[in-house]
Amino acid sequence: MTKSLDDFAKAVRTVQNAKADKKEHPKGWEPGVVLDGGKSYVASGPVKSEKEARKKWDDYIELLGFPADEFEIIEPVHVRTWDMQTPDGVQRMFYYKADVRSKKHIKGDKDFDKLLAEIKKAKKPARKIKTKENGSMVVCLSDWQLGKRDGDGTEGIIKRTTQMIPDVIDRVKELRKAGNPINKLYVFGLGDLVEGCGDHYAMQNFSVEIDQRRQEMVARRLIIKALMAWAPHFDKIVVAAVPGNHGENRKNGKAHTTFGDNIDVAVFDQAQEALSMNKAFDHISFVIPDNELWLTLDIDGVILGLAHGHQFRTGGRYSHQKAVAWLSGQAFGKTDIGDVDILLSGHFHHLFVINEGQRTLMQAPSVDGGSEWFENITGKNSFAGVLTFTIKNKKNKLPWDNLQVL
């Protein structure tokens, strides 16, 4: 009796092993490129060596339309063994899986310590201002999308943003020559200065050129370089920033920390800390919300409100309709931003300026090289540039003037 039970148990094990042998790969190690919650990785399927696995990975990546030589494996590589039934009997195979990312890096400024040294050595600038009257100029830094591959990529974004720095100086000189008394500069970060690396759209890990750390690093440096260059030309500089959606810490397609835990405002925090090391820049102040998606400022008696624009979700098909609907809701709720004279936003990557009653709504353009996805879906694209204008407080007239996109 015992023998027959042992034989039966042995037979059951034989059947179970036979069923297991029919599986081609372990669960969760299916061969190919997998996108899971914005995290990108490749799995080899059954191979005899890691060299063979990496060759397969290149094939998988190129099947998606991306050059395999532009991506790198993020260590560690995970390995699993699996016994397979082959015509030659049971054979032990290896499975390899690893995260992947773009290996294209940024050319140019790579030494942040050098930039900090420049800050420490900077002498208190002799103000190059020839007016004793008060006047304010606004510069909007919106939707740089650093790390984005589309168009001319991150290199093009850096080139346009770098060129914007002397363009602002030239513009203020031009305005002063024309009789505009400008001694104050307001620099507004309207969000999405970085592209992020995952959970914003499909295949994002494969679409960005540099990782999130480098995106943040480049944004921080560009902000500091701009403020250092502008510092000698104004008596007062006020820097304000609001969070965008691409700066969010995301999980499964949604922000999962707080509104304030955002790279778009963190880079301005870092710029503030760096510039505070030298009293030569003590005429530069920062206004950064703690955990809000918008803020307001009083500039020469004109109330400005800043919001990225990703919170504008209802009201119509077009972005200006959404902005009007959002501002109307804020006014109805008696929030501070609901009572502004000018509402500034970004997010939609193109310029608009409209008047609604006594209020002006402005949407800043982006400096990125365009969106292949948006162009393919809508057939539309927009001009890159930096929105600038001056503030004026004259009764029964528009509260802004001298609008120009640099």
pLDDT (tens, 9 = 90+) of the chain, 406 residues, equals 444 555 544 544 444 444 444 455 566 666 666 544 345 666 666 766 667 766 666 766 666 556 666 666 666 667 777 677 777 777 777 666 766 666 554 444 445 566 667 777 777 666 666 666 689 999 999 988 888 777 777 888 888 999 999 999 999 999 999 999 899 999 999 988 887 755 444 444 445 677 778 888 888 999 999 999 999 999 999 999 998 887 656 555 555 556 666 788 889 999 999 999 888 899 999 999 888 888 999 999 999 999 988 888 888 888 888 888 888 898 888 888 989 999 999 988 889 899 988 899 999 998 887 766 556 656 667 788 999 999 987 766 889 999 999 9
* Residues 125 and 199 occupy one common structural domain: yes
How many angstroms separate the first and last alpha carbons of the chain? 92
* Residues 56 and 173 occupy one common structural domain: no
Q: Is residue 8 part of a domain?
A: no
Query: Which pLDDT belongs to residue 235?
Result: 93
Query: Which pLDDT belongs to residue 286?
Result: 96
Q: What is the pTM of this model?
A: 0.70
Query: Which pLDDT belongs to residue 81?
Result: 73
CA dist., res. 171 & res. 176, Å (int): 9
Q: Which residues contact 357 (CB under 8 A, 6 or more apart)?
A: none
Of 320, 273, 238, the residue nearest 119 (C-alpha): 273
| Own/partner long-range contacts of 316-320 (Cβ < 8 Å, ≥24 apart) | 319/347, 319/348, 319/350, 319/352, 319/363, 320/352, 320/354, 320/361, 320/363
* Residues 183 and 63 occupy one common structural domain: no
Q: Is residue 15 part of a domain?
A: no
Q: Is residue 268 part of a domain?
A: yes
* Residues 217 and 257 occupy one common structural domain: yes
Q: Is residue 13 part of a domain?
A: no
Tokens 């679409």 belong to residue: 207
Query: Which pLDDT belongs to residue 390?
Result: 96
- Enclosing domain of residue 80: 21-102
Q: Are 141 and 242 in contact (CB under 8 A)?
A: no
**Final residue of a structural domain among 74, 102, 130:** 102
Domain count of the chain?
2
Q: Is residue 256 part of a domain?
A: yes
* Residues 290 and 330 occupy one common structural domain: yes
Q: Are 237 and 184 in contact (CB under 8 A)?
A: yes
CA dist., res. 143 & res. 366, Å (int): 5
Helix, strand, coil percent values for the chain (each to nearest 5): 35, 25, 40
Query: Amino acid identity, residue 380?
Result: K
* Residues 206 and 309 occupy one common structural domain: yes
Tokens 């004259």 belong to residue: 394
Kind of pairing, strands 302-307 and 352-356?
unpaired
Count Cβ atoms within 10 A of the Cβ of residue 142 and give its class: 0-12 exposed, 13-18 middle, 19 or more buried: buried
**Final residue of a structural domain among 102, 123, 141:** 102
CA dist., res. 384 & res. 176, Å (int): 26
The CATH number of whichever domain residue 134 belongs to comes to 3.60.21.10
* Residues 95 and 117 occupy one common structural domain: no
* Residues 75 and 38 occupy one common structural domain: yes
* Residues 31 and 127 occupy one common structural domain: no
**Final residue of a structural domain among 102, 123, 156:** 102
* Residues 98 and 218 occupy one common structural domain: no
Q: What are phi and psi of 207, to 5 degrees?
A: -100, -15
Q: Is residue 376 part of a domain?
A: yes
Beta strands in 148-293 (DSSP E): 184-189, 236-241, 250-251, 254-255, 284-287
* Residues 75 and 138 occupy one common structural domain: no
* Residues 366 and 244 occupy one common structural domain: yes
